[in-house]
Structure 1
Amino acid sequence: MNYSALKKWLIGKPLKSNELGEQKLSKLKALAILSSDALSSVAYGPEQILIVLATVGVVAYWYSIPIAIGVLVLLMALILSYRQIIYSYPEGGGAYVVSKKNLGEKSGLIAGGSLLVDYILTVSVSIAAGTDALTSAFPAIHDYKVLIACILVIVITLLNLRGVTESASVLAYPVYLFVIALLILIAVGLWKVATGQIPPVTHTAMGTAVPGISLFLLLRAFSSGCSALTGVEAISNAVTNFKNPAAQNAVRTLSTMGVILAILFSGIIFLGYWYSISPKGNETVVSQIAAEVLGRNGLYYFVQGTTALILILAANTGFSAFPLLAVNLATDKYIPRMFTIRGDRLGYSNGIVTLGAASILLIVIFNGQTEKLIPLYAVGVFIPFTLSQTGMIAKWLKEKPKGWQGKMIINLVGALITFIVLIIFFTTKFTQVWAVLIFLPVMVLAFHRIKRHYEAVGEQLRISDDDQTTFALSGNVVIIPVAGMTKAVERSLSYANLIGDTIIAVHVAFDRESEKALEEKWKRVHPDIRLVTFYSQYRSLVRPLLRFIDIVQEKSKDSNMAVTVLIPQFITSKSWHNMLHNQSSLLLKAHLLYRKNVIVTTLPFKFKK
């Protein structure tokens, strides 16, 4: 199977450009593909709260309830704020576009850089957490979790390369099955609580005094719980993926996601508190709740199976949002332009592949440990959260449309809360998130360097009236490197006669005998074409050629001549044959491409067998 056939088998046949409209998402599919990250965070957000409270003891678990209420207040503020962002910026781009347009270039780049890293972490955390859920149900495979996680990233990358609608069609079922599974779990758990099957003595009463508790620890638990809000912004970044009316459909999807997330998060927090569930290293909190409420039966494995699936497939939110954000940054010339190119299936395949590779690298570096990735993941979200809300405040103050005061208050509340959470993150988890203070400035610097390069390239390529005369040349000197008298050289000489005014063949010999032999043969066959030979006692092919080209260039400046180096290159019939040849033509071409005012031309000579 050749490369083209393999590619078609893996990602499907190429789509025509006019089929792009068919790749837009309905609300039902968009909820699955863009909300899976936020919904899946229910599986680890409550657990992160309990992990912090567990340092004091089981008696402190009742604090999870007021902490959860604080998280839900923040969720409501974010949903209301991002509704306004979607209506104001229906072209997508989310925090990056909002911050750049209202707060300036640096703020926009900080938001954009944070989100790029966050989406990479989205994939890494989701896959790692999904693998944890899988190994909780099947402990025998726990030692292979890093390998399993890497394979899962590759599978989801390939799925996304097949196109948005196709991946959404596959992902919709696990997401909705997860929602159903958790609703069943919460309903059964609440029924048992309401009917007295689980007595209150199993947990600490609300308001119980807890020795050793501190504000610092509570704030740390709250910031950990805020990891459940990651992914809320993804819909605002991907508005252009929705069917028309895109903005309205995106807002409805965002609101639906907020309601479902609030119900699931509240239910898991309450059951975890009521059943007095403690975090374990080899079993997730959701797994323990399911075992207590349902027993280790078919329903338990249904909950665990769908939880593992949505955690794994939540990575798809990153795959949906990362390429679109990359397009915005690349359009503004802050990252390579290759991210603006659509692939065979009309998706931004360069962004998808880059995201997959970076995620695998993170999983390997952190050994698939979710608890090490989540703090970086969460802080990467709250930076753009804060900047986008602040940007919207600046927008309302500047434009003052009808009803702007109410809109500004919503964004002001959102900005204050997210900024406070950000401060809490840096205060309580500095040892885990300090790297943000290094890689964000480095990313912003890289963005500026890339843009300066593109601007310099544009300036040098732009044609003005004054430049028209500088391209006039009176002739062309063609230099042909030759290894001997071959058919490839003969074809090169024939072509050189078509394009050149002066032709010079250059031979670099490693011994005097071969040098003399070629000179004699050349005089007999091509007496009218000049041959220059060099003896290289250090067996360097490139250095003598470059020196000679320098000499010719110096002379050509005076005569207004162009210098072309015509390189004969063998093309083998089978790819593995390449390693049997020394590839000197490629080496020479690599050196010449960086030479000023030298035209490099390759004349292929194809072998038939």
Structure 2
Amino acid sequence: MIMGLKRLLIGRPMKSNALGEEKLSKVKALAVLSSDALSSVAYGTEQILLVLVTLGAAALWYSIPISIAVAGLLTILILSYRQTIFAYTTGGGAYIVAKDNFGTSTGLVAGGSLLVDYILTVAVSTSASTDAITSAFPILHDHRVLIALLMIISVTILNLRGITESATILMYPVYLFVVAIFLLILGGAYQWLTGNVQAHAPVYGAAVPGITLFLLLRAFSSGCSALTGVEAVSNAIPNFRSPAPKNAALTLIMMGLILGVMFMGISLLAYVFGIAPSAKETVVSQIASAVFGRGVLYYFIQAVTALILFLAANTAFAAFPLLAFMLAKDRFMPNMFMVRGDRLGFSNGIIFLGILSAILVISFGGETENLIPLYALGVFIPFTLSQAGMMKRWVTKKPAGWLVPFLINTIGMLTTLTICLIFLITKFSQVWTIFIFLPIVIFIFRKINGHYQDLASELRLDITTDKPQAKGSVIVIPVAGISQVVKNTISYAQSLSDDIVAVYVGFSDEDIKKMEEKWELWNPGVRLIVLRSHYRSIIKPLFKFIDTVEWKKADTDHVTVMIPQFITKRWWHNLLHNQTSFFLRAYLFARQDVKIATVPYRLKK
């Protein structure tokens, strides 16, 4: 039943040689890898207005120059990451660039920041999508956590089905969102040009009492949340069809153009229509309502906005498993993240991301707005390290025509570093936790790597000199009575060794006498050792006996404890039996001087 449900949800397993078919065209890649960046249009402008509105509606005109500055930064990032794509064609983005140019520690800072950011991406995107739904249907507001969790489960299952299939499904809602936003921009522009705008826009350039550089920088840093997801294309180059770098670069440019136009369009409409942020309705919802009224087009825009915010999480599901794979390949994350699932995706990374983001949504009750600054800072740290790494690469290698790309990366590095400092200064109360969780993540990376290094050192052998040494084997079989299970185990043991001992632990003289008489009558060709337990435990007497056997045999033979175990036909039958064999194995695993073998006997009834 479980396998049937699995096949229904994620489909049939794919052959390994089908991996080449699991590559993305530019059109599909734009849908999969740009959904996070494009979806930020739904909340980027709103984040700017939330800061400015603290000084009143008159200050909202500052959103226009701030939006222009954000668009300028977007241009710099697009040009910078385009160079990264051609320089590092295997993907990995900031992690690979930082590690290659500044060493492992810096690479781990970039990689750790991105991994945490992808978890935040899923939590913030699904919560923002829920906000779009509850703006249109306020009655659902109290169920936002459940809605967000259902979204996470859905997108997790979608990605487990494989990147090509998920891209085919995602392509339509992403492009529908682009069409919807362009319709909104064109409709708003028409209303403004024909003089049908009812609201009064704040006077552009009017003096605003109390305005400070600090507040403007806060608004600018908030607006930079619209740039999250820009790095995803450079991280996922291996997912593109050949020639992968060229296709990735073109996809990045297309994403930048579409994002820039949509972001500036929403910011201009918000100013023209005098939109102020509201706790109960998003800025995009207010603009759509003002332009089209609460008709079919309004609900179409809200529906695709909610859908794109939901699918924005898919960018993280595309990038997180790849980055986790690269970190695991370098022995900084568990090996399980290198394993491809039935549908040729890194399914462990996908499931891990889904679980952690769900925990985050539950922890914050579906209200993850306070995570947006932390979410944005988590992107700008790798942005900065990536640009700095590229600067060092140009200076070190000095290829032909290196000066222009060096200047682009320098501007990019200085700009993103400035944004990081602005975040830390203006939003310290919301981002201070980065100084706690980032060192913890790097510490975990180091501990994992240390374990793998120790393991490799201990398991390594010289194939020219280290050969297996033949030894005898003493087999100890714990028995609780005489049964088909014991007979099955003894038969198997006799095929492996002539030195076999059955051990019975009795709790009373009567039990011991009865067992000795039955064994003598049965006479299976194996000697029986009877031990007395005064405290109703079989573990300690058995351990003492094993120590005796080992002392007698010294290093000449292996000591193997062969545990008989019957396997029930129904799972619930296990609840009706003592799990002595399970506990015995658990205790024996702690001993390095004993080998453990389990001999199953499968019940038919």
Q: Equivalents in 1 of 2:160, 2:471: separation in Å?
A: 51
Judge conservation of contact 1:25–1:241 (CA < 8 Å) in 2: yes
Structure 1 residues 376-525: aligned runs within 5 Å: 376-464=374-462, 468=466, 471-525=468-522
Moved more, 544-553 or 27-36: 544-553
Judge conservation of contact 2:472–2:558 (CA < 8 Å) in 1: yes
**1:545 correspondence with 2:536:** no
- Alignment partner, residue 111 of structure 1: 110
- Alignment partner, residue 561 of structure 1: 557
User: Which one of 570, 577, 600 corresponds to residue 574 of structure 1?
Assistant: 570
Judge conservation of contact 2:361–2:368 (CA < 8 Å) in 1: no
Structure 1 residues 246-261: aligned runs within 5 Å: 246-261=244-259
**1:369 correspondence with 2:367:** yes
Structure 2, unaligned stretches of length 5 or more? none
- Alignment partner, residue 44 of structure 1: 43
What is the CA deviation profile of residues 214-266 of structure 1, one whole-angstrom value per residue up to 9, with x for unaligned ones? 11111111111111000000011111101111110000000000000001100
Distance verdict in 2 for CA 1:431–1:533, change over 3 Å = farther
Q: Equivalents in 2 of 1:436, 1:539: separation in Å?
A: 53
- Alignment partner, residue 591 of structure 2: 595
Q: Equivalents in 2 of 1:115, 1:371: separation in Å?
A: 19
Q: Equivalents in 2 of 1:511, 1:154: separation in Å?
A: 56
What is the CA deviation profile of residues 311-368 of structure 1, one whole-angstrom value per residue up to 9, with x for unaligned ones? 0011100110000001100111100011111100111100110011111000001111
**1:536 correspondence with 2:533:** yes
Q: Equivalents in 1 of 2:236, 2:106: separation in Å?
A: 20
SS class of match (1:499): coil
Q: Equivalents in 2 of 1:202, 1:254: separation in Å?
A: 37
CA RMSD of aligned residues (A): 1.4
AA in 1 matched with 2:510: E
User: Which one of 290, 297, 302 corresponds to residue 304 of structure 1?
Assistant: 302
AA in 2 matched with 1:292: A
- Alignment partner, residue 225 of structure 1: 223
SS class of match (2:505): strand
SS class of match (1:505): strand
What is the CA deviation profile of residues 87-124 of structure 1, one whole-angstrom value per residue up to 9, with x for unaligned ones? 01111111111111111000101111111111111111
Q: Equivalents in 2 of 1:540, 1:173: separation in Å?
A: 65
TM-score (norm 1): 0.97
Moved more, 472-481 or 590-599: 590-599
SS class of match (2:600): strand
Q: Equivalents in 2 of 1:548, 1:111: separation in Å?
A: 55
Q: Shift in Å at residue 22 of structure 1?
A: 1.2
SS class of match (1:531): strand
- Alignment partner, residue 141 of structure 1: 140
Moved more, 329-338 or 271-280: 271-280
TM-score (norm 2): 0.98
User: Which one of 267, 270, 273 corresponds to residue 269 of structure 1?
Assistant: 267
Structure 1, unaligned stretches of length 5 or more? none
Q: Shift in Å at residue 556 of structure 1?
A: 2.6
Q: Shift in Å at residue 467 of structure 1?
A: 5.6
What is the CA deviation profile of residues 366-401 of structure 1, one whole-angstrom value per residue up to 9, with x for unaligned ones? 111131221121111011111111111111111111
Q: Equivalents in 1 of 2:448, 2:465: separation in Å?
A: 26
Q: Equivalents in 1 of 2:15, 2:490: separation in Å?
A: 43
SS class of match (1:314): helix
Judge conservation of contact 1:492–1:603 (CA < 8 Å) in 2: yes
AA in 1 matched with 2:545: F
Q: Shift in Å at residue 538 of structure 1?
A: 2.8
Moved more, 453-462 or 317-326: 453-462
SS class of match (2:133): helix
**1:606 correspondence with 2:602:** yes
AA in 2 matched with 1:485: I
Judge conservation of contact 2:479–2:486 (CA < 8 Å) in 1: yes
Judge conservation of contact 1:154–1:356 (CA < 8 Å) in 2: yes
Distance verdict in 2 for CA 1:465–1:175, change over 3 Å = closer
Q: Shift in Å at residue 65 of structure 1?
A: 0.9
Moved more, 343-352 or 523-532: 523-532
> Number of paired residues?
605
User: Which one of 298, 318, 327 corresponds to residue 325 of structure 2?
Assistant: 327
Moved more, 42-51 or 206-215: 206-215
Q: Shift in Å at residue 466 of structure 1?
A: 7.5
- Alignment partner, residue 58 of structure 2: 59
SS class of match (2:301): helix
Q: Equivalents in 1 of 2:72, 2:507: separation in Å?
A: 79
Q: Shift in Å at residue 127 of structure 1?
A: 0.5
Q: Equivalents in 1 of 2:22, 2:151: separation in Å?
A: 24
Q: Equivalents in 2 of 1:83, 1:240: separation in Å?
A: 15
Judge conservation of contact 1:473–1:562 (CA < 8 Å) in 2: no
Moved more, 573-582 or 225-234: 573-582
Q: Equivalents in 2 of 1:63, 1:374: separation in Å?
A: 21
AA in 2 matched with 1:404: W
Q: Shift in Å at residue 156 of structure 1?
A: 0.8
**1:283 correspondence with 2:245:** no
AA in 2 matched with 1:44: Y
Q: Equivalents in 1 of 2:69, 2:408: separation in Å?
A: 16
Q: Equivalents in 2 of 1:23, 1:172: separation in Å?
A: 15
SS class of match (1:468): coil
SS class of match (2:466): helix
Q: Equivalents in 1 of 2:509, 2:235: separation in Å?
A: 68
Q: Equivalents in 2 of 1:549, 1:358: separation in Å?
A: 45
Q: Equivalents in 1 of 2:485, 2:20: separation in Å?
A: 50
